[in-house]
Structure 1
């Protein structure tokens, strides 16, 4: 894994949550993600990486934080189905913004980033590559945690 590439994604995510939503972000110790079947994340925005490096980067958060991000955007929805659809779109767009910010800094490299995919649901599963460890980098905010998971070789 290339720490410089990973840091581009981390810094982009931190800037986005800080500048767009006014979140106070504190980083927590990174760890190797081992138990992937049981986790606290209800929403994941996922990017595929190909080229000089390949792998997956996921931005994960609980629905309570996603709902707070909607509220801070001025969107308040009482219908659960509409709220879920809007959260799905919002997480996809936030992941896309992070991807675009990183892509702008990678113009000289041969790294490509896929369009984002979003998974919603308790204990949803991401099929990580089995040959490379997944590093989880958690963060806390005043409205709840989020995590950036990286599996790249």
Structure 2
């Protein structure tokens, strides 16, 4: 018999990220395989349409049948898809994205610090005569406190 309180195994965030990345890569490769199968079937269909059924037999670009141009164009698109899945995804994976995110956040923080320093320099806060910051109450009228430089 199973105990009444079954404890579900928890997956740590790093393990979950690895699983999600693997699922994404599998989906990419699966879509690439589908694209390749559709390319083969489409190419055969184009050839059959032109040579067997005579569809577009009179249409030729630069003395080459139309279906050759269609297949070459589709092959080019398939090649781009293949490069994207097999090469670019390896170089620009989650680690690369995280590094880029860290770099951009660091640049933004640096820029914010520069702007804050510039604001502090150009518009300094007035110094008050009191040495103890606890002497100023929230209820006090700040207009009645005279700045130090007056």
Greater strand share, structure number: 1
| TM-based fold match above 0.5 | no
TM-score, normalization: structure 2? Answer: 0.26
TM-score, normalization: structure 1? Answer: 0.25
Greater helix share, structure number: 2
